Amino acid sequence: MDVERIGTDLQDTLVELTDLSLQAKQLHWNVTGRHFLPLHEQLDGLTDEVRAAADAVAERAVALGYAPDGRVGTVAKESPLADVVGGRVADTEVVAHVVAVLGTVVERMRRRIDTLDELDPVTQDLLIGIVAGLEKQRWMFDAQQA
C-alpha cells in the first residue's frame, strides 16, 4: 500500500475539516439577525459532524502508519479554506460563507475519492461517507438562499 500518498490525502482532509470545525464554531457564536436561533443550532450540529469526521480521518491515517498533524500552526498555514470574517456576522452572510467553504471541501475531497479508488478502498469508503454528510449540510444551508 502506498501509505505516503494515502496519508497525504488524509492529512490534507484533516487540515480542511479542522479549519471547517473552527469556522463553524466561530459563526455559531457570532451570527446575528432574525434567523439567529435555527442557524446557531444548525452550526453546532455542523461542528459536531465535522469534528467526528476529522477524528475518523486522523485515526485512519495513524492506523495506516502515517502520523496525522492537526496542530493549530499546521492548520493555520495549510488550510485552503476562505477566511471567515471576524466580529459579529449577519445571518445571510453566514449562510453564504458556509455554502462556499463546504463547496471547497467537497470538491477537494471528491478528487481524493477518485484517486483512492486504486490506492485503498477502505480509506475511499471513509471519505465517501464524509462527503455524503457534507453535501447534505451544504444543501441545508444553500436552500436558505433560494
Contact residues for its own copies, defined by CB under 8 A: 18-19, 22-23, 25-26, 29-42, 55, 58-64, 67-77, 79, 83-84, 86-88, 90, 113, 117, 121-122, 124-126, 128-129, 131-132, 135-136, 138-140, 143-144, 146
Under 8 Å between Cβ of 121 and 64? no
Q: Which residue has the cell 484533516?
A: 14
Least distance to its own copies from the beta carbon of 61, Å? 8
Kindly provide the residue ranges of all beta strands, DSSP E only, lying in 19-59, ordered along the sequence: 31-32
Supply φ then ψ for residue 89, to 5 degrees.
Answer: -130, 135
Q: 3-class SS at 28?
A: helix
Strands 89-90 and 31-32: parallel
Least distance to its own copies from the beta carbon of 110, Å? 8
Q: Which residues contact residue 44 at a Cβ distance below 8 angstroms, ignoring those fewer than 6 apart?
A: 24, 28
Residue 108 or 140 with smaller CB distance to its own copies: 140
Residue 49 or 68 with smaller CB distance to its own copies: 68
Residue 13 or 124 with smaller CB distance to its own copies: 124
Residue 6 exposed, middle or buried by CB count within 10 Å (0-12, 13-18, 19+): buried
Least distance to its own copies from the beta carbon of 44, Å? 9
Residue 29 or 100 with smaller CB distance to its own copies: 29
Least distance to its own copies from the beta carbon of 119, Å? 12
Residue 5 or 35 with smaller CB distance to its own copies: 35
* Count of residues in the chain: 146
